[in-house]
Structure 1
């Protein structure tokens, strides 16, 4: 629910992200969508009955909880590239590590990486200075440009589309441990990258002004 007093902030951030999505591709200034989620790990208490002709595999309804792992996703929609990292936690420290990897490992030749993400409290520029020497924090921040989706507007982050595909095609089942989770996610990522599965985003700021006009402040004729 978007409060009336928050509508101007919402549409400002929304139009910023929508304009960014419709800029021409620039390999020196890539647009990367970033998001995070988690996966509960469930071990089987009893061995499942294997599949056989005419019958699918059957699993017991009971299971043993085996912790939770965080999933970071990076996605460049215009090129069909994505990367998923499995971590134990998702603190500011892990966020900074992901941004460092984005700059140094994935886009070392980029002049500026435009990162679309939500307003999670760990997504802070000052976190770089909390966990890195000042010169290193400044080096990374000079190559990163953050674009935040509005509150209640996570649908504007195309990384959510990647997460939806990941859950449907890979994680919609019990995963017993972190090693299996990493292996399954890596296999899914490799296949999807080989297919160069792009995201064709059509919704524009002009569309928003028509279809979401009720969200815009009524402050002029």
Structure 2
């Protein structure tokens, strides 16, 4: 399971855009109205065509903890262990889960989770980053002015993409990783006797 988040601005219009002629792109006025922000938590299964995007008002410990609980109790309720790949954001910790839920509940959730963190400056190794890029191009390439519309658009995109069987073809091997990130891998010292 790959996990990441992305902020999004809710942007409205000052003027109603003119409907374009057939075959022409929609044009927006340079003036806009900022209606706040929202946060998107993106989860994608690297082994099958499944993704889930949760829209929240903010990106806080509690929001992260609720996403992890929903993963454990809902979408992957029958999995013994869920391996979660994510970046080193300060909210991506076991303590966030303990801060949100009673100790017994937090322990129950964490027993089912195994966190794997991408190296610093290498969040591109997280497939959820790729999915966020696809979502921005296919779904968020226009102005969306309120959270309800955002949720409707996101969930329709999520459903279409999952039903189409879309998966990420990961072509980055261990050997390529060792070449690309040579500084991160120790070089064994050879004893010359």
- TM bin, normalised by shorter chain, reads over 0.9
For the 8 Å contact 1:35–1:159, the answer to whether it is kept is yes
1:196 Cα shift? 1.4
| Residue 152 in structure 1 maps to residue 121 in structure 2 | yes
Change (3 A) 1:183 1:54: closer
Out of 32, 37, 40, the residue aligned to residue 68 of structure 1 is 37
Task: Name the counterpart of 1:166.
Answer: 135
Cα distance between partner residues in 2 of 1:57 and 1:210: 44
1:72-101 CA distance string (max 9 Å, x none): 000002101000000001100000000000
| Residue 130 in structure 1 maps to residue 99 in structure 2 | yes
Task: Name the counterpart of 1:186.
Answer: 155
1:22-58 CA distance string (max 9 Å, x none): xxxxxxxxxx000000110111000000022364332
Cα distance between partner residues in 2 of 1:216 and 1:113: 26
For the 8 Å contact 1:34–1:75, the answer to whether it is kept is yes
Task: Name the counterpart of 1:56.
Answer: 25
| Residue 142 in structure 1 maps to residue 123 in structure 2 | no
SS of the aligned residue for 1:64 comes to strand
Task: Name the counterpart of 1:97.
Answer: 66
1:218 Cα shift? 4.6
Task: Name the counterpart of 2:80.
Answer: 111
| Residue 38 in structure 1 maps to residue 7 in structure 2 | yes
SS of the aligned residue for 1:75 comes to strand
Structure 1: tracts of 5 or more residues without a match: 1-31
Structure 1 range deviating more: 68-77 or 55-64: 55-64
| Residue 78 in structure 1 maps to residue 47 in structure 2 | yes
Where relative contact order (Cα < 8 A, 6+ residues apart) is larger, the structure is: 1
| Residue 206 in structure 1 maps to residue 175 in structure 2 | yes
Cα distance between partner residues in 2 of 1:192 and 1:74: 13
RMSD: 1.4
User: TM-score normalized by structure 2?
Assistant: 0.93
Change (3 A) 1:54 1:206: closer
User: TM-score normalized by structure 1?
Assistant: 0.82
SS of the aligned residue for 1:126 comes to helix
How many residue pairs match? The answer is: 190
